[in-house]
Amino acid sequence: MKIVFCGGCNPTIDRTALAAELRAQPDLAASEATVYISGCARSCASEHASARDDPERVVVVAGETVDGLPVPAAALVAEIRRKLQGAADGLDT
């Protein structure tokens, strides 16, 4: 898993704790996904997205949102997992 961070100027979530929790999940850590983690809704980390990114394997976290939808901070890892597993299973996310 590749994790891209924002600069952290105005975080409303603990970006490093989220990344550590994702990396502690063996199935997620071994995935070929890219997770862009921004501490706030501005979503600065996703500005580093590449045209080479596989959109099915990309998740954008911006504060308490995942891919633009509200998600409480405590549920971010579960929602990221759901998105990535849905993509791997060929389901709509």
Q: How much is the pLDDT for 52?
A: 81
Residue 58 falls inside a structural domain: yes
First to last CA, the chain: 18
> What pLDDT score was predicted for residue 93?
44
Domain count, the chain: 1
Closest CA to 4 of 42, 33, 24, 31: 33
Radius of gyration in angstroms for the set of CA atoms belonging to the chain, rounded to a whole number: 12
Position 90 scores a pLDDT of 61
In the sheet that holds 65-66, the strands lie side by side as 2-5, 34-38, 58-62, 65-66, 69-70
Angle between helix 15-23 and helix 76-88 axes, rounded to 10 deg: 50
pLDDT at 8: 95
- Is residue 93 in some structural domain? no
Q: What is the pLDDT of residue 91?
A: 53
Query: Splitting the chain (93 residues) into consecutive groups of 10 residues, what average pLDDT does each group show?
Result: 95 97 94 96 92 88 97 97 80 48
| Residue-number span of the structural domain to which 81 is assigned | 2-88
